[in-house]
Amino acid sequence: MLMILDVPPKLPDNPTRFMDRLRVFIRSRNMAYKTEQTYCHWIRRFIRFHGMKHPSTCSAEDVERFLSHLAVQRNSSVSTQRTALNAIVFLFREFLQQPLDELSFELARKPKRLPTVFTHEEAQAVIRHLQGDVQLVARLMYGAGLRINEALRLRVKDVDFGMQQLIVRSGKGNKDRTTLLPDSLVEPLTLQVEACLALHRKDLAEGYGEVYMPAALDRKYPSAGREPAWQYLFPAAKLSRDPRSNLLRRHHLLDRTVQRAIGAAIRAAGIHKQANSHALRHSFATRLLEAGYDIRTIQKLLGHADVRTTEIYTHVVRKGGFGVLSPIDTL
């Protein structure tokens, strides 16, 4: 059986290892599992960089050396260096209760790249080269601006046909939001709900049918995991072993499965841009800008905390070069 990869693994009841205690602390703050994984990754990198020295014995100078190493020797991007800084500041200020003095380190200078965007025709070509559940996931990313895991983690209850909207639970930053449910996806999503509930009934008949519940809701509502509303909209083909409960459950499709399929579709469509599945979400934002929707509305639909993140799409709308008419086009 497969092992579920994006569900927090069970930790010891009385953890003694440093990283286990750190993970318990992060979960006590109700932070997203993706954040836990990211912070633990960079904290491990920091510890290894300093020869496995315990972080509590490290100084601000040790932090500065690590961050400068990322910029100078590793040639990391600004965003990578900032992510590492956030993880280490959290480690010292929140977990160790040892706030750092003002840091002085070499800043990463690798420029932030503009997002790769498909034309509408290119996005349609990619989608045409996909089939089944993966195609519907891609249509949601392009049609509603969802991140890949936001689409894959949708549950039956998150598709509101009456209000014609999708409810994104615990998106980036562990925040909920709503976004549009495109008219063209109402019928295929209705059929998708029917198909996943038919599979759920089959699992129940075979003694399974209980889905993973977030934030310990399985203790508060013990039977909710077997209810239709909580089933994943895009269930995996096989049952998986839950690392926390050791139960066999049906999880959702894995993101890497969808990413590989979309990568193959991009190549099959003859598109030679450096693009991946996330380009569909970038293209959603760009189409809305081209249609004249205001930046604040697009920000809310995308779930960006800062409007400056959304504004980057103003640089990639159709008619590049700021819409300037080239003199050669007047000849």
10-residue block means of pLDDT along the chain (331 residues)?
A: 62 92 92 90 96 94 94 87 94 94 80 84 97 97 95 96 93 85 96 97 94 78 89 93 81 94 97 95 93 92 89 73 59 58
| Domains parsed from the chain with CATH numbers | 15-95 (1.10.150.130), 113-318 (1.10.443.10)
In degrees and rounded to multiples of 5, residue 74 shows phi and psi of -90, -10
Does residue 284 contact residue 150 with C-beta atoms inside 8 Å?
Answer: no
Beta bridge partners of 2: 240
Q: How far apart are CA 31 and CA 21, in angstroms?
A: 15
In degrees and rounded to multiples of 5, residue 265 shows phi and psi of -65, -35
Q: How much is the pLDDT for 112?
A: 67
Q: How far apart are CA 122 and CA 145, in angstroms?
A: 16
Q: How far apart are CA 88 and CA 98, in angstroms?
A: 11
Q: How much is the pLDDT for 1?
A: 44
Catalytic site residues?
A: 147, 172, 278, 281, 304, 313
Q: How much is the pLDDT for 2?
A: 47
Q: Does the model's pTM come out above 0.85?
A: no
Crossing angle for the helix pair 186-205 and 132-144, nearest 10 degrees?
Answer: 130
Q: How far apart are CA 284 and CA 191, in angstroms?
A: 24
Q: How much is the pLDDT for 15?
A: 92
Q: How much is the pLDDT for 252?
A: 94
Beta bridge partners of 328: none
